[in-house]
Amino acid sequence: MLYQVVLLASIIPFAASAVDITIPLSAPSGAPLVAPDLVSLSIEQDRWVDWAGTTEQNQFFYNALNNLAQITNSPPFIRIGADSEDHTDFSYDVEYEEDIFPASSSVSPYPEASNITVGQGFYDVISHLPFGTRVHWGVNLRQYNLTAAYLETKALIQAFESQAVKTKGITLNFIEIGNEADLYYNNGGRDSSWSVFEYVPQWVQIATNVSETAGLSKTSFTKLIGAAFAGSSNNNISGFSPQAIFAEGILGTMPGALITTISQHRYSGSFCAGSGAILQDLMTKSYIRGNISVFEPDIKATFAHGLKYILGETNSKSTIMPSFRVSNTAGAALWALDYSLFATQVGISRLHFHEGVGYKYNFIQPVTLNYSIVDGSPITPLPPHIQPPYYAAIISAEAIGSTGHARMVEIPIDATDVSGYAIFEHGHLVRAVFINHVAYLPGAGVRSSTHININFDGFGPQQMEVRRLDITYANATSGVTWAGQTYETTDARVSGTLQIQTLNVCDGLDIQETEVVLLSFL
Ligand SMILES: *[C@@H]1O[C@H](CO)[C@@H](O)[C@H](O)[C@H]1NC(C)=O
Ligand SMILES: *[C@@H]1O[C@H](CO)[C@@H](O)[C@H](O)[C@H]1NC(C)=O
Ligand SMILES: *[C@@H]1O[C@H](CO)[C@@H](O)[C@H](O)[C@H]1NC(C)=O
Ligand SMILES: *[C@@H]1O[C@H](CO)[C@@H](O)[C@H](O)[C@H]1NC(C)=O
Ligand SMILES: *[C@@H]1O[C@H](CO)[C@@H](O)[C@H](O)[C@H]1NC(C)=O
Ligand SMILES: *[C@@H]1O[C@H](CO)[C@@H](O)[C@H](O)[C@H]1NC(C)=O
Ligand SMILES: *[C@@H]1O[C@H](CO)[C@@H](O)[C@H](O)[C@H]1NC(C)=O
């Protein structure tokens, strides 16, 4: 049986190219420790209660998160806030959340609310998330309204001190004060004098109230997020960057001393109409590295202060423009996976992929949609479902595993369109992931593949289990399976028979265009 499988694998006729790689058997010194919740989520808070559920938990969203917790023992870290955190008021007269939405349009089928008023229940429903969920929540800075930030903080703390939340081990790890403050001039939140020199004292003023209201101190569990900017030192907006706020002495202030993690935001771009070429650009190995590498100076500056570094909000293409057939495709799953795994190599400890109800680049659509996410036209109600990028979270979870001790290094591969990573547990090689970055599109003809010859730097394992992400075309928006199984189910639970090949390591393996393989060494 085994012989047959090996034979089949080695006679696939169109391995257009071959690469020889060498995988270390032991974790190289300095191999980064990779947290099981590397791939986490950020939720636009104008529709937060749709995600969480009000009187009952949203079972679909819960299951989609719990699937990941079952693989890694650690549910995704959830950031709530984003642009709408800066448009949120608090009222004791509101039970959960009251929004005013602009009209849906073909360009923006699910626009963000212009006016958001929340009550205590908005925060309390955090109890609906899986056991052990860690949370990062934003409060309003843009309105420069101390009362809003104060009332939101009080409600936040009351929710996290409730028995329902404590019983589930759900914790408030971070409060974020203001989202993308570097854009406040561009988006009309401040006048043209807006600069980092105005930002730091305003942040300190609000953060002093927030941290005193929340009872934060050097020894408290909850800490503050720093920056949360849209730009970087490489492409700074209004002169904002982590380096600039450090230079302004933010860390020496009382609330600034509570910053333990710097967060920045990144989208790979925005564009008017999707096309195969744009999907290939998104998936291209060198562009993914370019989009992550812009943060290297900021990360270095952050580490110099002993702080951690995350992408607190990120995704493929910003939602302003229609990005159908790019952001919600199987190809985008390969982008999200390589982007996340590569991020570990430059010191990014976690990525929060941004989600909003009806957004095109979502991993998860948590409620029934009544308008097309493509052009806003009315559709037959489309029940909650996962989109292909969700598989990036599943594969990353399986690659990193549940030990909490995984280390990862990129495997040098002499090919512009194949990338690979090796994963070590307790110092020993356990798994490897390979990604073929070529976007295989309808009409492209024969689907080519690359043969990977695997060598070790010593006497290594003889056999490996192989799981494949099966994709018809890079622009497919459904029909993706992982090791033969699907998460495209009515309850987000996995379905289908697990299909795992066992191959001899010495035969290597083929990886076709637009494919991911996970190897588990036996
Ligand atoms: C300040 O915030 C409070 C609470 O969110 C709100 O009721 C009030 O209207 C806000 N004031 C202004 C001037 O926006
Ligand atoms: C926002 O909504 C609140 C509550 O519904 C209302 O009192 C307030 O006037 C609204 N603000 C704007 C700018 O529409
Ligand atoms: C925070 O601001 C609110 C609203 O202005 C005020 O009532 C409260 O006393 C302030 N808290 C602290 C600790 O300064
Ligand atoms: C902003 O970027 C420019 C170059 O793009 C650089 O010269 C300047 O130092 C940067 N400023 C900050 C505050 O990072
Ligand atoms: C980021 O990715 C996009 C493709 O999605 C590419 O056009 C752009 O050049 C990349 N940026 C960098 C700095 O590599
Ligand atoms: C779609 O309509 C259903 C039924 O009216 C409703 O429950 C759901 O919230 C709607 N979806 C959105 C995103 O508004
Ligand atoms: C993929 O691209 C082909 C060719 O452009 C197109 O016919 C097809 O509808 C696309 N598939 C999806 C799911 O968008």
List, for residues 61-73, the tens digit of each pLDDT value. Answer: 999 999 999 999 9
- Does the pLDDT at position 275 exceed 90? no
Q: Ligand 6 center to residue 381 CA distance, Å? A: 8
With the most atoms of ligand 1 within 8 angstroms of its CB, the residue from 45, 86, 122, 147 to mutate is 147
Instruction: Answer yes or no: is the C-beta of 271 below 6 A from any ligand 5 atom.
Output: no
Residue nearest to atom 11 of ligand 2 (CA): 115
Q: Ligand 1 center to residue 89 CA distance, Å? A: 6
CA 44 → CA 5, 86, 146, 354, distances in Å? Answer: 47, 11, 22, 7
Give percent of the chain above pLDDT 70: 95
Q: Ligand 7 center to residue 323 CA distance, Å? A: 14
Q: Which residues contact 163 (CB under 8 A, 6 or more apart)?
A: none
Instruction: Answer yes or no: is the C-beta of 95 below 6 A from any ligand 3 atom.
Output: no
CA 114 → CA 84, 107, 343, 358, distances in Å? Answer: 8, 17, 33, 16
pLDDT digits (tens, 9 = 90+) for 409-430: 999 999 999 999 999 999 999 9
Neighbouring CB atoms inside 10 A of 383's CB total 11
Copy the structure tokens of residue 236.
């700074």
d(CA 515, CA 330): 9
pLDDT digits (tens, 9 = 90+) for 299-329: 999 999 999 999 999 999 765 445 557 899 9
pLDDT tier, 4 (very low <50, low <70, confident <90, very high otherwise): very low
**Can you give the pLDDT at residue 320?**
47
Please give the DSSP secondary-structure letter assigned to residue 21. Answer: E
Instruction: Answer yes or no: is the C-beta of 244 below 6 A from any ligand 4 atom.
Output: yes
Task: Give the binding-site residues of ligand 2, using a 6 Å CB cut-off.
Answer: 98, 100, 115, 117
Instruction: Answer yes or no: is the C-beta of 369 below 6 A from any ligand 6 atom.
Output: yes
Q: Where do the structural domains in the chain lie, given as residue ranges?
A: 5-31+406-521, 39-400
Q: Ligand 4 center to residue 233 CA distance, Å? A: 6
pLDDT tier, 107 (very low <50, low <70, confident <90, very high otherwise): confident
Averaged confidence pLDDT in the chain: 94
Residue nearest to atom 10 of ligand 5 (CA): 287
| Nearest atom within ligand 4 for CA of residue 236 | 1
HEC sequence for 281-334: HHHCHHHHHHHHHCCHHHHHHHHHCCCEEEEEEEECCCCCCCCCCCCCCHHHHH
pLDDT digits (tens, 9 = 90+) for 364-416: 999 999 999 988 999 999 999 999 999 999 999 999 999 999 999 999 999 99
pLDDT digits (tens, 9 = 90+) for 329-338: 999 999 999 9
The domain covering 39-400 belongs, at the CATH homologous superfamily level, to Glycosidases (3.20.20.80)
**Can you give the pLDDT at residue 270?**
63
**Can you give the pLDDT at residue 14?**
59
In CATH terms, are 5-31+406-521 and 39-400 the same topology?
A: no
Residue nearest to atom 3 of ligand 6 (CA): 368
pLDDT digits (tens, 9 = 90+) for 213-259: 999 999 999 999 999 999 999 998 999 999 999 999 999 999 999 99
Per DSSP, what are the bridge partners of residue 97? 118
The domain covering 5-31+406-521 belongs, at the CATH homologous superfamily level, to Golgi alpha-mannosidase II (2.60.40.1180)
> Which amino acid belongs to residue 269?
G
Evaluate whether 482 touches 500 at the Cβ level (below 8 Å): no
pLDDT tier, 150 (very low <50, low <70, confident <90, very high otherwise): very high
The DSSP bridge pattern shows strands 385-386 and 39-44 to be unpaired
